[in-house]
Amino acid sequence: MKTATIAVMLSIVVFLGTGCGVEREIVDDLSLVTAVGYDAVEGNKVKGTIAVPNFQADKAVTTEIFSDTSMLLRENNFKLNAEANRPLAVGKLEVILFNEELARKGLQKLKDVFVRDPSLGSRVRLGIVEGSTTEVLTREYWDDDSGMYLSDMFEQNIDRGTIPETNLHLFTYNLYSKGADPFLPFLSVTDMVKIDGIALFDDERYVGRLPYEQTFTFNSLIGDFQNAIFPVYRGDKKSASVSNIRSDRKIQYNGKGNHTELVINVHIKGIIREYRGGKITKKVIKKIENTMEKQMKQQAEDILNKLQELNIDPLGLGNEYHSEHRNFNWKKWEDMYPNIKITPKIDVKIMEYGIRR
Amino acid sequence: MGKPISDSMKISPFLVLFLITSVQVGVGILSFQSKVVEHASYDAWISVIIAGIGVHIIIWIAFKMLRQDQDIFDIQKELFGKYLGGLFGFIQCLYFLVLSTIALRLYIEIIQVWMFPHISILYLGIFFLILVYYVINGGFRVVVGICFLGTVIPIYLLFTLIFPLEFAHFHNLLPVLNHSVKDLMLSSKEMTLSFLGFSTLFIFFPFIKHPKKAHKWAHFGVLFTIVVYVAISMVAFVFYDEEQIKTVIWPTLGMWKIIEMPFVERFEYIGISSWALVILPNMTLTLWASTRGMKRLFRFNQRKTVIVFLIIVLIANVLINGHERISLLSEYISRVGFYMVYFYIPFLFIVYTIYNKVRKSK
């Protein structure tokens, strides 16, 4: 009896083992999309460009490019499928780019296709491109395909503290958050494609950007980052480069209600990497610290003025304020934000100065 | 009272912990966060604790009410007579049958949405149900064994909660207790589907060797579930924004999406596959309880009812299609379960206590 049951079960298993109705997908038979770019074109349409790496026998990778226009992004994918020799799969997507013009119109509707698809990772990097994304994707990047290259470029810049951490998850987080606005790295195209500052968003719309020089200070206002370089200018003989080992941000609230004053305390621990003036003494260190504090404070004030003028909050101050105050009202905060007094307080401590005196 | 169960069929008291935990942790844990925040927003983890305290109370009632070798059918028969008591018992059996069905359907839905949109429910269901049949056919002790494994093996998934903390915004949880008691209670009501199923205790009670000793283990089981739920909800709350989490259907799976390891690009595929081991004890225990009830009520052969019930589960699974219908059904059953557990059982307890007092005084 028992053996009979087992036999029956086994035969059922073998019989069913033939498929379960699952569609077979073999990696070699797919075009794995690594980067997509979207440009605004006339009307309501979007021009989509897709980069697919093509691995050559000599280990080099070339990028295949497909491009077409349509209103919906999936429709675009569908159209591009007609051009591709293998079905396009987005499971390995690393980078999503939007051009400036499209971002100005708003990304809320566009990002839907990416957060709805279960096969897409949450760590996909996003970026805003000056000009056309097609140009960024069609460029040759030595032996790399464009998706991989751009993704590595974003990653190492985030590790090195040039830009704050951004990815699809954080972008959607800030997009939905009532007390924060999203920001993305801004790419510009010259001889090279380079990260050229930070694109600022008012909710879903791109409204302005911070220049590359201000990213260090912007990062320090956002929170903790490391390894970035800040140039301290004190004339030809005394200038220095300082890299930060640690940085943290604390927010302090003075006063109540409409008279609230926000103080952003930034503490930076740094190392001198370069000094023009020869021997470094205690006095020199003190002076470099002071100049750096002054320069950063100036930049921080510029940044904060710009943010308040645009009425955007990429620093997430609203969320911070919300977490510290009971009986909080978002409406009141929104009225308050453009006029609230925000003072940056920068404190720089130089810990080491390399292997030379 | 039914035929007393021989000692060789009974289980050690500490295994009750695994029975309670494995039947409580199911598909709900992958998706409960977005429902629970509806009223109490990010204070909802307190609601999870409140709902858990409610479960503790019901467990306490169970051990207070039931005597050794007695289950809920005995009590209902004693109180309401053969027919009315039998009717209540039958409703409970149906309830567990539906609970088992919905557990499988919700799991298959996840597979359909996240992994294989083309998968055939029929084939997958047959596979799963053969396994369920095999387990239940082995008797209650095998069911308990599966519950034990279904709790112990997937425990490693708890460690995956560390990864989303890379993007944690801890200030989301502050200020604590910023909502009214009413909001907290409404949110804890939303929690019930996730905690349901533990009322199988009222049916497998006679199988516990020393019920007095098992009491504390049952509480430990509930405590463990609460800890797991609170941990998962807190991690989700710091990972997602309040408005964002409401747009996500499966927040726990969404958190797994952020995990990237050198050998696996998307962790959720491993997580969902491992989840089969959580669903299996969940289904088997509720289905066992359902068929056991049929045996106690109508003296049906349990082995035969299992086959009939499995076929019902399979057909129901194939017929219930689409996210809207599935979530509607799970909503209904959670409402039924809510009233069954939090209204009917305390009511039964009070009536039974009065009945006993009156009988004694006579």
pLDDT in tens, chain B (362 residues): 456 778 788 889 899 999 999 998 888 888 888 888 888 888 889 999 999 999 999 999 988 888 877 888 888 888 888 889 899 999 999 999 999 999 999 999 999 999 888 888 888 888 888 889 999 988 899 999 999 999 999 888 889 899 999 888 888 888 888 888 888 888 888 887 678 888 888 898 889 888 888 899 999 999 999 999 999 999 999 999 988 998 899 999 999 988 888 888 788 888 999 999 999 999 999 999 999 999 988 888 888 899 999 999 999 999 998 889 998 998 898 889 888 888 999 999 999 889 888 888 86
String of b and e for B273-312 (b: at least 16 CB within 10 Å)? eebebbbbbbbbbbbbbbbbbbbbbeeeebeebbeebbee
**Banded model confidence at residue A7, pLDDT cuts 50, 70, 90:** low
> For the residues A252-274, what does the mean pLDDT come to?
85
Distant-in-sequence, close-in-space partners of A93: CB < 8 Å, separation ≥ 6 = A33, A34, A35, A36, A120, A121, A124, A147
CA-CA distance, B297 to B314, in Å (whole number)?
24
B169 at A interface, C-beta within 8 A: yes
| Domain boundary, last residue among A210, A239, A274 | A210
Domain end call among A210, A245, A272: A210
Residue A105 CB contacts under 8 Å (≥ 6 apart), including other chains: A40, A205
Cα(A119)–Cα(A310) distance, rounded to whole angstroms? Answer: 36
Instruction: Single out the residue of B275, B308, B298, B294 nearest to residue B92, CA to CA.
Output: B294
Domain count, chain A: 2
User: Of A210, A235, A256, which residue sits at a domain end?
Assistant: A210
| Domain match, A201 and A241 both | no
A162 and A281 belong to one structural domain: no
- Using CA atoms, how far residue A315 sits from A181, A250, B53, in Å, is 8, 12, 39
Q: Are residues A82 and A152 in the same domain?
A: yes
Whether the CB of B114 is below 8 Å from some CB of chain A: the reply is yes
| Interchain pair B175, A323: CB under 8 A | yes
Q: Which residue range forms the structural domain that includes residue A176?
A: 26-210
A50 and A165 housed in the same domain:
yes
Report if residue A179 sits inside a domain: yes
Give the tokens for residue B1.
């009272």
Is A277 contained in some domain?
Answer: yes
The answer to whether A21 contacts B257, with C-beta atoms less than 8 Å apart, is no
Residues A309, A260 share a domain: yes
The pLDDT of residue A260: 80
B165 lies within 8 A of chain A by CB: no
Q: Is residue A45 part of a domain?
A: yes
Pair A164, A243 in one domain: no
Mean pLDDT of A207-213: 90
Say yes or no: A349 and A239 in one domain. yes
Name chain A contacts of B257, Cβ cutoff 8 Å: 121-122, 169
∠ CA A128-A130-A134 to the nearest 5 degrees?
A: 85
| A182 and A279 together in one domain | no
Q: Do A260 and A354 share a structural domain?
A: yes
Interface confidence (ipTM) of the complex: 0.86
**Residue A1 placed within a domain:** no
pLDDT confidence of residue B1? 47
Helices and strands (H, E) in chain B, number of each type: 16, 0
| Distance from C-alpha of A284 to C-alpha of B34, rounded to nearest angstrom | 56
Same structural domain, A103 and A137? yes
Instruction: Find the CB nearest A9 among B113, B130, B171.
Output: B130
**A58 lies in a domain?**
yes
Query: pLDDT value at position A14?
Result: 61
Of residues A122, A174, A177, nearest to B258 (C-beta): A122
pLDDT digits (tens, 9 = 90+) for B33-62: 888 888 888 888 999 999 999 999 999 998
B141: closest CA among B7, B313, B276, B291? B7
Separation CA A133–CA A344 (nearest Å): 36
User: Same domain, yes or no, for A191 and A118?
Assistant: yes
Q: What is the pLDDT of residues A119-178, one digit of tens each?
A: 888 889 999 998 888 888 888 777 778 888 899 999 999 888 888 888 999 999 999 988
State which CATH number among 3.30.470.30, 1.20.1740.10, 1.10.15.40, 2.20.140.10 fits the domain covering B7-356: 1.20.1740.10
For B125, nearest residue in chain A (alpha carbons)? A20
How far is the C-alpha of B123 from the C-alpha of A16, rounded, in Å?
A: 7
Which of B241, B242, B259, B273 is most worth mutating to test chain A (most A CB atoms within 10 A of its CB)? B241
**Cis omega (within 30 of 0) on the bond before A344?**
no
Query: What residues in B contact A20, CB-CB < 8 Å?
Result: 116, 119-120, 123-124, 127
CA-CA distance, A128 to A188, in Å (whole number)? Answer: 9
Let me know whether A194 and A328 are in one domain.
no
Number of neighbouring beta carbons within 10 Å of residue A262: 20
Q: Which residues pair with A95 in a beta bridge?
A: A35, A125
* CATH code, A339: 3.30.300.210
